[in-house]
Structure 1
Amino acid sequence: MAIMFLAWSVFLSFTVLVVQPCNGEKSCVIWSSAGPVVQRGSTFKVYCTFNWQCKKSMRSGHPPTPQSHNKFNYTTIYFNVVNITKNRTYSCHCNSLPAPDPCGLDISAGYLPDHPKNLKCIYKIKNTERGLMVCTWSRGRDTYLRNSSMLWVRTVSGNHTDGPESNIVSSKGTEVLSVSFDVSRSVQLISVWVEAQNPLGSVNSSLTNYTLCDIVMPPAPVLVQPKCSSRECIIKVEQSMRMQHLQIQYRDEQQPWTNCPDSVAQTNSSRVRSISSLEPYRLYHFRARSKFSTGLWSQWSTNISSWTEEEAPAKELDIWFTDPASDSRSMRVYWKEANISISRGKIIEYKVSVYSPNLTFKPDVINISADTRSYSVPSCTGCEVTVWARNSKGLSPPARITTRRTKAEPPQDVRVTLGNYNITISWRKAKAAPLPSAYILEWYPESHKVEELRWVRLGKNDYHTIITGIQPYECYEGAVYALYNDSGLSRTRFKGVATLWSAPAAGPSVQETVEGNKVKITWSDLPRDQRMGCITKYTIYLENSNRYLQHYSTPASERTYVIKDLPSGDYSLWMTATTGNESRAGQKVKFFLKQETQLFLLLMCVVTSLFALLLLCLCQSSTVKQRFWEFFQCLMLDVVPDPANSKWAKECTQEKGKLNLQLQLSDSSVTEEEEPILVDVEELPRQNSDTSTNVSSQLPLQTSLSPDTVPATRLYPLTTYIKSFSHDSDSSDHTLTSLDTNTTVGYISSPGLGNMEEVDQEEEEESEDMYFFSSPNTFIEPMKFGGKLTLDAVKIDCSGFSQNA
């Protein structure tokens, strides 16, 4: 049974699928109670009648949206449309399996046509037989529907009436409609009206009747290129037929159209008109129109243009100058380009002359290019600068300015009021000053006076003015000058003026110079496009290796700054600029600071060590040793040595019969004497004859004192004592000491300079040549004494050293 039921269900489904498409019947029908076209704002019902048993629904819009519908009967449902405002689409859906195609309806919503308004017609003459009738009207508001318009025409020629004839015009998408058609010149009366229609209905305009001569319009005239002088132009007008009225208008580039006076000369089909009271060197445009004795004016002719001729410039130039610095040897004179009403032609060149009262000859006139607006002239006391402008017809009147003026009372209480793109400057006259002949207000972007100086000349009773053309985010400065008839000049400056400002786009780029324990910072102006207003100050940021941050502020006018007394170490440095807000940090630079004194001491230590090491190496050579000794001997004073206090004299007292002579030149000073002092030296025999020996027999070799001699050995020679018979001096008191009971020994004394000549020369026993040597010393060589021993003999002779040197 279950198998049979399943088979029967499949059969029924297949039958429905096969039979339903073959039936050809729609699943539903949709219609509107108001039709497919309705007026906007209306209310109506949309019905759906279904031919199938299914779940019924209605949808609207794109994409289709289900709508809340009502049930009309078992097969029909409907939807209430209230106050429709635009075109809509409605559809009916049957929800069953399989789902049949839905049925739909487009509803167009619009308005009835407006009555056509402003119906006007003109009759344009084409030739002597026919003309073109042109009618225009306004169709009114948009109906949002497809509209069509028809112009109906009825004509009367004598006793004959034709028409009405229709001329269909499409009016979609236009507000003013027009239609053209030919009409014979024999027509006397013409009647026209307009019918407008759309799917909602049709309307007619009112009937308009015209007499053809009242709407007739001649063709536009033709103008020939005029001939002009500096003040007048001759216009020639050509027409295809004789006209009773002609109107000519002219204007330059800045003026409106002006009607010419009615002074017309007729020459066949042409008319010639003279237009006077024109300005020199102006480009004028001309046009003309005409009409019959009745009817309408023709259309305007094509415009033609022509220049009037030049005349010499009418007025002097407006000139000004830069106030030179006290140390400047030149100044710059500026002038404005004159407008066309003053120049009266194309300026070919400018001429500049400088007159000084000290000159006895006529000053030279300098020719300057027409593109130039300034010139640098020498700055001198009482000099007068004159500037002319020249065109093809001549020179302008001279414009003069004095380079140096006397000081006068400046304008008082100068105030600046900022606008969005303008600046208002106001001031008042000084109370004690006379009334000036004029005021001059100058202004320029900060630090660009020479390149972009601007000024305005004002009357003596003007106390304020408005400066236009101010660029946003630009810093301006300037001054108000009072000019007096006696060449007096005074000014009051203003600066730091900007209409808009924000933080500068970047910080300055810095350069650092390290000098000892300080650093010098330099920077340049920010580019104009990065300043974003008037810079009020700069800030320097200094960070050490420990991240300790310090900052220093400096006015906007400064370009250098010195930071002193910095400890050694690594540093980072950057800057910012401030207007109303602070800029971001500029380029960061790094540098290292070290104390100069430490480096100097280190260098001195290294140099001293190297010098000591070099000296130590040189001292290992005997030749170098001798040269040093001779050099030091030259520096010693010439003082006679005192043997009584020497080491060898003391040793001699301890051993009888023997005397060790040790010359310690390093401990004695030698003083040069005018007269040689002779000292008698004698050898006394010892009591024990067996121990007495000759000094010469105990010396292995005889050596003289010479710079080139090197001793073979260093000895303390055995010798007898030295007895001095010199008188005691005031400066030294010697005691005679006996070596034995029979012998008295006198020591070599050092008499003072005053007692040198009083020394008694006593006879002594002749002794053999005696040699004595110094104690072991690095720089001392053996010295030889023979016969009489004089102080000259023990002097050190430096001549050999100097010769060897």
Structure 2
Amino acid sequence: MDISQSALLLLSWACMVCASNNDEYCCGKIYPDSPVLELDREFTATCVLSTRGKQETHATADDIDWMFKNYLVPKEYYTRINDSAVSMTVNITRKLESPLKCYVSMPHGLPSRIVHGMFFTVGHAPEKPENVSCIVAQSGEDLSPIMKCSWSPGSRDPILPTNYTLCGYVGLTNQICNSSSERHIGLLDFNTMPVYLSVEIWVEAKNQLRTVKSDVLTVYPEEIVKTNPPRDIEVVSEKGFPTSLLVRWNHSITWPDFELQYNIRFCAAGAHVWSEVPPNDTVGYINSFRLQYLKIYADYIVQVRCIMDTGLGYWSDWSQNVTGKTSEAIPSSRPELWRVIISPEGSHEKLVKLMWKEPIRPNGRILEYNLTIQKDGKLESFQLSSSHKAEYILEKVKSRVDVQITARNSVGVSPPSHLIVSGSYREPSPVMTVKWLTQNGSLWVLWEWTLPNPREFVLEWVSVSDGFMDWQTEPGYARNASLKGNLQPFKRYNVSVYPVVRGRPEKPQTVAAYLQQGPPSEGPSVKVTRHGKTEVELEWEPPPVDSLNGCITKYTVFYKTGGIDLPPSVTSHTLKQLSSDSEYVVHVMVSTVAGSINGSDLTFKTLKYASGEIEGIVVIVCIAFLFVTVLMVLCCIKKKEMIKKHIWPQVPDPSNSTIANWSPEFPSRPDTPKEGSLTDVSVVEVDVFEKKSLGEEDKTSLPLKKDKYLSEEHSSGIGGSSCMSSPRQSVSDSDEGDSGQTTASTVQYSSVVASGYKGQTPAPLPPTFARSESTQPLLESEDHHDDPHGCDAQRYPRNPYFRRPRTVNEGGVPPLMLHQIEIAEQSSSSLGFSAVEEGPQQATPSTEAGLSEGPAGSAPSYMPQQSGYRPQ
């Protein structure tokens, strides 16, 4: 019991206490107080406030509200009747749940107060029963006293409990009604069936909402009778009538004036399609019938039923199955005969296995076979029982063999089958093409044949898995056939079609076929047969035949860039346009019409260099190196003089110098002092880079000074004589730092002519300048005059060199632009020498004294040319 029911009970109890001496409810009441509401119908309820309720609640009709459980009915469905009554009209649906309550709203925020409530159920009224029909069954030899009727109660579920009552009225006063526990079937028991009297039948359906009645059905019991099937049925074959069966039976009921008519149906044993005898063939009150045009020596199943001869009433049920077999006849077809050559091909003596099957239409049970063999001009005959294995081995067959066989049953002998066993076929095969398909669970073979038609075709199929072989024959006009052997799904069979022309098998055509195909159970295994830089060749073996489960439709090669479809005959493929020195994963998928499966993955890596590429690079490099070598050799040959000068510099030979041919107007040098006498020689050492000790005039003459004199054995360039008579260290011995700095430059020697003393008065005669045409290169000690570094203190002293004291630049001409060297005579009897040491050494006192003498006292000396030959 839920909370709403409990609250309603408490409210009812409170109202009863309040009005113990008053007939009115304490607050009000709902009218009508109906416990059952009909679905999909409008329902109107009225809530009336009692006088006491109005006094206690001080409410009016405007304060009344309606509610279904948790659903508040909107105000637009209300109708105000007076000050104390309000009605509500709604369409009843399954969403409106019990209970229904009306309550009043209290003023001053007090909780609402329930006036009255009711619990209800919903449902449909019963539909009118339709299609009332009745039947009277047979009980034993008489009619049953019980009439069975049925009707249609309608498609709608009433939800509410509904009772169905079947009623019958016989004559004027006898009415029988029987309540049925089922919705659509009922029984009426008349004790004795009122045959030849009319009976009125109807059905009543009733529930809490209403009662409905069907239309009245008037029937005569004898017109609604359903008898039992015929009794004692038997099927008999007759000798001499191999294509017919005789069917006999007894009547199921023997009432007077009750005559029946019969219906017969039959089918071959194992078949599922019945053949009925036309009703016109069984008219009359009969108890036997002959079935004709049946197969010889075949089993048939027969059933019989009956109905009133007037056609009224109902057919009886079919009788139980009764089986009969037609009688035997002479076999009407030949036995099937075939051969298999089981010896190796090319052998002179063949081993042939003969096989046969019983005739397609044996027309009885085959008892024995008569096998006749004509071999090498000899005729042999064998009587073989039907229980014997249906094969015979011919050994040492070298030439043509004629074979004939017949089959015999209890009635007679079949026509013979003839076969010629030969070791060769005629070319080409008369069979053009062979195809296959599956249909309705059977394997069909289709072929095309060139005219004329053969006597017959032999279809031979061999299982590739286990070698099982079977065969069958088809007539010569056939172009397709269904294989009738025990074929297995997912197994490959090699089906061959042999045309047999005049008993000789011709060359066959063979095709691989499947009764049912499935997806492969194993994929191909792929391998790489040839590597390349941008391509590889793949090869794979097809999966085993037992793993294919169908005919291969295609191979698909999957790798990094996608898939490639290939025909089933292809088992290798070359992947091209690959990246060099890259790794790829590839697998091959095999497909049949029923599905696909992937093979195992194979990982391979392309080569970094193509085949022969390394050899090509080596050849190209060698050729290039050879070319460069040859080119360098040619250049060396062509430029050998220049190379010679750079590698082996030309050492100047003072004896070949043209300076000895100059003709100065005064002696180029003073007389050599005699040995043992002292000469007035002042030696001055001046650092050419110590500019502070020089005057401005001397600074301009620094570029003209040679800073390196390496050997006394070299000529000074004046008159071809040496400055000192004693030998000194050579260039390579005295100066390691400048050993690599040699020159092959040629310079023009200058001739020195006498000039007047440069003093305060200009010279009376201008100096002259004579150029020598000598191409003799300068000495190394004369050429490296730009070396900014001095030799260190450990170096050997440099060769003495003629030098004149620095003089003030006269006439404003820069020392670098001098084109002649002027030498001023200081005295005719003495010549000053200056020894210059390379390096940052301090000048000796004698040198400083010489410099301090001033330009007037300086004697002219040879100045080396710094920049080599200057073109004039």
Q: TM-score if structure 2 supplies the norm length? A: 0.46
Which structure's CA Rg is the greater one? 2
Q: TM-score if structure 1 supplies the norm length? A: 0.49
